[in-house]
Amino acid sequence: MKRCSGLLAYCFLVSSAVHAQDEEPWSFNFFLENDLFANTDLNYTNGVRFSSISPDLDSFEDPNGHKYPWVEKLNGILAFVHPDPANPNTDPVNQNMVISFGQLMFTPTDKFRTTLDPDDRPYAGYLYLGLGYHARTGDTLHSTEFNFGVVGPGALARQAQNLVHDIGGWERFAGWDNQLKNEPAFQLVFERKHKNGTINLGVLDDIEAELITHWGGSIGTVASYVNLGTEFRLGWDLPDDFGTSTLRPGGDNNTPGLTRSDDSRIRLHGFIAMDGRLMANNVFLDGNYFRSSHSVQRRETVADIAAGIAGSWEKLRFSYAHIYRTKEFYGQQEGQFYGAFSLSYLYQF
């Protein structure tokens, strides 16, 4: 618990020092995942997140070059998430903080049914704030993230979906009265990513290929699991980051220090990615933990398979992926397709 408290204190304190940063950019990110991209409207139906990633914390200095002692002290507290540099003389450990805000929503298959369907998943919404921390070397990134919020009507998923459906002229879901009840929720996530070397294929104007692996886990009332996955990407002038993430907790990986805002090169590549999870709990299927609610029998293993395209130019980055998720609970008729879009902007204060 001391380490979690140190992480939270670190994020809040460092955010107060943003005015001292005038050289390196912040990264502002928008993520949208929706099954409308796959022409469906069920299960994991929408996810949205806004996040901001700080410049390297070591560069927070006043105009006279003086570093903040509390930054160095709290860096030491969080040393347990620092990757070990392969060469301490050439591979320094850099740190970044992440602040995020997001919402997830889940619905059953029959949108017109007003009564609870005992064979299908519950209606559920989750509204959360996330505080995270990156520690990286040239080829390894450790991400620690603590998300906390509310599951239930307080997540405003019903209102958000109704607003979007009204604007789009689509019929509303009729069963939101059966959604999970209000209760606080939290999730502590750790993930390690490793780049396994970039290969220049020497064809078609220097096409490059790269393999990025990741593993990690989560514990909390939102979901507990261990996960393992990889991403293969192929394209022109691959960016020096850690891949293209879906909205998965701990997935923010485009740390701004890796791509400067004055980079005028156009980068474009395709990617195929996979993430497999061994699940211990999932509130969106298990139902409320502290109150009586509807639930379904959760599957112990779930996997996401994604294929897409990503690119960047100067301060902008974008990606789109089409994702297939395997069945999440027993009785689910089939797996699910949905789309994931992200847009990032590098900004210097």
Spans of all domains in the chain: 2-21+28-347
- Between 1 and 165, the higher pLDDT residue: 165
* pLDDT number for residue 44: 94
282-290 mean pLDDT: 96
β-bridge mates for residue 313, sequence order:
266, 316
pLDDT at 262 over 90: no
Reported as a pLDDT band with limits 50, 70 and 90, residue 348 is: confident
CA 206 to chain centre: 31
Instruction: Label residue 315 by pLDDT band (50, 70, 90).
Output: confident
Give tens-digit pLDDT for 73-82: 666 666 666 6
pLDDT on residue 5: 44
Of the chain, the percentage scoring pLDDT greater than 70 comes to 77
Distance, in Å, from the CA atom of 241 to the CA atom of 263, rounded to the nearest integer, reads 14
Q: Which two tokens stand for residue 330?
A: 């027993």
Contacts of 39 (CB under 8 A, 6+ apart): none
C-alpha span between 94 and 67 (Å, rounded)? 15
Q: What is the pLDDT of residue 55?
A: 82
Mean pLDDT of all residues in the chain? 84
Stretch 205-230: mean pLDDT: 93
Average of per-residue pLDDT across 292-303: 96
The DSSP-derived string for 67-121 is BPHHHHHHHHHGGGGPPPPSSTTT---EEEEEEEEEEEEEE-S-TT--S--TTSP
pLDDT of residue 10: 47
- Count Cβ atoms within 10 A of the Cβ of residue 142 and give its class: 0-12 exposed, 13-18 middle, 19 or more buried: buried
Lowest mean pLDDT among 77-91, 104-118, 311-325: 77-91
Q: How many angstroms from the chain centroid is the CA of residue 323? A: 15
Averaged pLDDT for residues 270-286: 96
More confident of the two residues 141 and 90: 141
pLDDT given at position 65: 57
In this predicted structure, the answer to whether residue 142 has a pLDDT above a threshold of 70 is yes
Please, are residues 40 and 335 in contact by the beta-carbon 8 Å criterion? no
Residue 273 has pLDDT above 60, yes or no: yes
Answer yes or no: is pLDDT of 241 > 80: yes
Residue whose entry in the numeric block shows the structure tokens 């979906």: 161
CA gap 283, 58 in Å, rounded: 38
Kindly list the distances between the CA atom of residue 4 and the CA atoms of 12, 199, 328, in Å, as whole numbers in the listed order: 13, 38, 30
pLDDT at position 160 over 90: yes
Range with the poorest average pLDDT among 23-37, 281-295, 322-336 = 23-37
Predicted pLDDT at 12: 45
Q: Assess contact for 129 and 101: CB atoms under 8 A.
A: yes
**CATH tag for 2-21+28-347 (out of 2.40.50.140, 2.40.128.140, 2.30.30.760, 2.40.128.20):** 2.40.128.140
- 3-state SS, 227-246, equals EEEEEEEEEECCCCCCCCCC
Predicted local confidence at residue 57, as pLDDT: 72
Q: For residue 247, is pLDDT > 70?
A: no
Question: Which of 238-242, 276-280, 299-303 comes out lowest in average pLDDT?
Answer: 238-242
The structure tokens listed for 25 are 């950019």
Confidence of residue 17 (pLDDT cuts 50, 70, 90): very low
pLDDT of residue 20: 40
Q: 3 falls in which pLDDT band (50, 70, 90)? A: very low
Question: By CB neighbour count within 10 A (0-12 exposed, 13-18 middle, 19+ buried), where does 9 fall?
Answer: middle
Can you give the pLDDT at residue 9?
Answer: 47
The whole-model pTM stands at: 0.86
Instruction: Give the C-alpha separation, 66 to 74, whole Å.
Output: 16
pLDDT tens, residue by residue, 114-139: 999 999 999 999 999 999 888 888 78
pLDDT tier at 228, thresholds 50, 70, 90 = very high
**Does residue 162 register a pLDDT over 70?**
yes
